[in-house]
Structure 1
């Protein structure tokens, strides 16, 4: 009996120990689950708080964006109003400029202004008689043309082709247009008309003319189917070359009295000399030396390239960007290194017929930079300008000079 009793007691103690162990394990697991539930509840509360704050931030952001959009709209309207004001001011400035008494570099000495001015409304017989009376007086003058520019009637930006600097012009005796792209080269481009050039993609579709020598600077001219261009090689004299566009050959070459290191316009140092064509023929604008402060003018025989007469225009080279000649009157266009409004600030008439009160103070409309070239067409009364790669046409209005 004793062993059986011992066995029963031992078994009872074993079951009691196992029950105690499992009870402890269950208590441990229950505590861990409660801790996990607490952490999940805390995470849920934090997530809810973050979600609420995010919603509040989105609402605040939406309100701020609406405010910014309203301010942007108001600012845009203010800028549009400012643009309208600027345009109005520019128009008023242009009007004031046209009404302001012009300044010129023309010489006043030895001027006797006639008492009456030619009037277009006079009868044909009276006008012819008056012209006959003054023809003898003007016969010995260099230029018999009696027109002067009074203003810029309109501006047309044709297109943008090629380099920032270059030249384009139209032959006064034909409809053909010629393009000098860049500041030097041996190729020019020919179009049959301005319309054909405006419709062309770039210079493709044009007739390429390869010259026998390189042209230097955008100072050439086309006159009566002849191309006149400046030729200069390194450390050599400066020449004017006459090229027959019909036969494709050089017909004449002339030396010009220009220092090889001098440039005619301070703002365009690539322009060694500038050839201009008007109703009277060909003119040459140049600087005799780099130390010479003023622009010189020479009348050239378009057939032989002989220089017939030379003048000191008294127009400074400093800040000059281009020039052109109309009826024997030189108009020098000035600008600044920080490109602003180009303006005709100096006028010189070879016949001393333009007085200070009559010479125009022309301002070109604000565009891109500075003109690399300006070429006058006497048949159309307009300028062909090259401005930062843009090809521009300026149509001019004219009036009669006061006869002396």
Structure 2
């Protein structure tokens, strides 16, 4: 009997202990479920708040975008109106240009040449005519002019490659076209009018030079062609070519250390030769590490370098340059072609004050200038812009004497 009682007591104690264990487990699980429910409720509240804030942000964004759209439409209309007005002004300018000669050949000597009254041979051989030319030279050599503004623009035509050069000899009416960035031939036209009326460069006199010209930086001055020569693994040279006799009369080594283009936006321009009222000039970069454009005054007869200047005009973002009365005007642009502008001016005589130097913007045309050549007789620039041949007529004023 006693063992039975012990067994029953042990069984009852074990049952009671198991009941307490399972009850604690159930309480623990219930508490965890309540904590999870609280976290889920908090998550729902935060989600609802974020959703509400997102809806408010969307509404605000929609209102802002609607306002920006209206402002964009208004700005677009204003730009379209401005473009219409600019086109109208350009058409009026083109009409005015058609009423006047784009060559502005005002001196008697050029008119006589245009009429064929004397030839290049007679100008070089006849003493009386040489005196006439000396009178013209004496009239322009004492030059104290500076550019005031771009008076007018005339788009002559489009012919040839995107990059090239065209110019006119200041001492004659003949026009010379350099198609591309290198070659052994140039094209000669009797006048600007002859060039503008021609169907292409092939309908002209083709002149073959004995060596390749490199870059759109050549110059034609007083019956001679001056161009840059550089063959593979050779030094750069300036070549003087007689357009009358068809022969090279002189060459000169180039004062550079290796290949260094003078304009960063036109790397094909190894150097830039220019002719103005004062004679023949050379724009170049002494080396690839040289940040500025250098200027050299050259003797057009012997190609000797008479003097060298550091223009302090940077090569970076330079597009082209031209020289007027011994003053260098460097034209700058951007990698994505925009409006060209004269941003640096250097006068060898230091007669142009910084506050007097013009900040000129060229009218927006097609791309970027591959070359700009100044003609001192006409006071205008011969420009090559993405295959278009353009004339910029300039307004001049006198330098301030200091």
* TM-score range relative to shorter protein: 0.5 to 0.7
**2:370 alignment counterpart:** 372
CA–CA distance in structure 2, aligned partners of residues 274 and 265 of structure 1: 9
Match in the other structure for 1:165: 163
Task: Say if 1:151 and 1:398, in contact at 8 Å, map to a contact too.
Answer: yes
1:284 is matched with 282
Report the equivalent of 1:145: 143
**In 1, Cα distance between the equivalents of 2:142 and 2:396?**
16
**Cα separation, partners in 2 of 1:266 and 1:78, compared to 1, 3 Å:** closer
Which residues of 2 match residues 90-101 of structure 1 at below 5 A?
A: none
1:267-289 per-position Cα deviation (integer Å, ceiling 9, x unaligned): 00000000010000000000000
Q: Matched residues in 2 for 1:82 and 1:236: separation?
A: 52
Alignment of 1:49-198 (within 5 A): 82-86=79-83, 144-198=142-196
Q: Secondary structure at the match of 2:251?
A: strand
- Cα deviation, 1:243-302, whole Å, max 9, x if unaligned, reads 000000000000121233200000000000000100000000000000100000000001
TM-score by length of 2: 0.67
Measured at CA, do residues 149 and 78 of structure 1 come closer, stay the same or move farther in structure 2, by a change above 3 Å? closer
Residue 254 to residue 358, structure 1, CA distance change in 2 (3 Å): same
The 1:198–1:295 alpha-carbon spacing in structure 2 relative to 1, beyond 3 Å, is same
Q: Which of 354, 357, 372 pairs up with 2:355?
A: 357
What SS does the corresponding residue of 1:195 show, helix, strand or coil? helix
Matches within 5 A, 1:143-292: 144-292=142-290
Q: What secondary structure, in the 3-state scheme, does the structure 2 residue paired with 1:351 have?
A: coil
CA contact (8 A) 1:339 1:370 kept: yes
Q: Is contact 1:236-1:260 (8 Å) kept? A: no
Cα deviation code 1:356-401 (max 9, x no counterpart) = 1111000000001110000000000000000000000000000000
Secondary structure class of the residue paired with 2:161: coil
Distance across 2 between alignment mates of 1:291 and 1:91: 46
Q: TM-score, normalised by structure 1?
A: 0.67
What SS does the corresponding residue of 2:195 show, helix, strand or coil?
helix
Q: CA deviation at 1:85?
A: 2.9
- Rounded Cα–Cα distance in structure 1 between residues aligned with 2:211 and 2:184: 6
C-alpha distance after superposition, 1:166-214 (max 9, x if no partner): 0000000000000000000000000000001001111132000000000
Give 2:386's aligned residue: 388
Q: 3-state SS of the aligned residue for 2:370?
A: strand
CA distance in 2, matches of 1:83, 1:277: 41
Partner of 2:138: none
1:45 — aligned with what?
A: none
Say which one has the larger Rg.
1
Measured at CA, do residues 82 and 259 of structure 1 come closer, stay the same or move farther in structure 2, by a change above 3 Å?
Answer: same
Contact 1:240/1:253, CA 8 A, preserved across alignment: yes
Distance across 2 between alignment mates of 1:296 and 1:78: 44
Matches for 1:31-46 after TM superposition, within 5 Å: none
The alignment of Structure 1 onto Structure 2 pairs a total of residues equal to 280
Kept after mapping to 2: 8 A contact 1:235/1:260: no
Segments of 5+ residues of structure 2 without an aligned counterpart are: 1-72, 90-140
SS in 1 for 2:275: strand
1:352/1:82 CA distance change after superposition, 3 Å: closer
Structure number with greater CO (CA < 8 Å, separation at least 6) is 1
